[in-house]
Amino acid sequence: MKIWKALPAAAILLATAVPVAAEKISLNALSRYLNQLSTAKGAFTQVNDDGTISTGTIFIKRPGRIRFEYNPPEKALVLASGGTVVIYDPKTNEPPESYPLARTPLSIILAKNVNLSRAKMVVGHTADDKSTTVKAQDPEHPEYGNIELVFTSNPIELRQWVINDDAGIRTTVILGELDKKARMNNTLFNPEFALPQGSDR
């Protein structure tokens, strides 16, 4: 199973119907926002490359940690911590799959120090009347794919991302309101303590 197949996704973007472009949020401002985002919890909707849709709860603890809990009937769980992404999918009856986080575009926003102004990292930076979109990649390994980050302003908020992975699979994750004061224990991201859907934390 390809990593971003396990996380559903594809092409739902924020409404764009407009003639007038708003001012772009600068790369420095977006980098500051991401670097100040230490923890976040909220609902997400994911659209896969094949058009299927899943929902769930996302937990972010920067740097380097993220957890996707999928709502039934999916019951899948995806963890990233310690430089590794682990995918649990009960439907396959197979052992969990793991991948180096550094080989996924998501590592760009989970880095300890996000610097979108770094040479050759951003390959697209556009704005419409509602949002600013940044397309970023690992400058040293563009073959790993890229991530398209969509932000709104006043205040700056990350609203969604689209991952285009090394296999050409496109996955869209649309975020609900994020609780940035959510407290979460590191064990939430530890594969050895991965909990089934609905368990107490």
* Residue-level pLDDT at 197: 42
Give the chain's domain count.
Answer: 1
Give the other-Cβ count within 10 Å of 121's Cβ. 21
Please report whether residue 194 resides in a domain.
no
Tell me which residue of 13, 10, 11 sits closest to 49, measured CA to CA: 10
pLDDT value, residue 19: 45
Q: Is residue 188 part of a domain?
A: no
CATH number at residue 64: 2.50.20.10
Residue 140 CA to residue 134 CA, distance in Å, equals: 18
DSSP letter (8 states) at residue 102:
G
Instruction: Note whether residue 196 is domain-resident.
Output: no
Inside any domain, residue 190: no
Q: Note the pLDDT of residue 187.
A: 86
The DSSP letter of residue 62 is T
pLDDT for position 22: 65
- Domain membership flag for residue 40: yes
Q: What digits encode the pLDDT tens for the residues 48-57? A: 999 999 999 9
So what's the pLDDT on residue 20? 52
173 token code pair: 């994750």
Domain interval for residue 35: 3-13+21-180
Whether residue 198 lies inside any domain: the answer is no
pLDDT at 167: 87
pLDDT of amino acid 91: 78
Q: Is residue 201 part of a domain?
A: no
> How far apart are the C-alpha atoms of 44 and 68, rounded to whole Å?
9
Indicate the residue type of 105.
P
Domain presence at residue 197 = no
Q: What is the pLDDT of residue 95?
A: 83
Q: Which of 86, 91, 85, 34 shows the shortest CA–CA distance to 63?
A: 34
Which residues of the chain, if any, have pLDDT below 50?
Answer: 1-3, 5-19, 196-201
Q: What pLDDT score was predicted for residue 21?
A: 56
Q: Are 104 and 85 in contact (CB under 8 A)?
A: yes
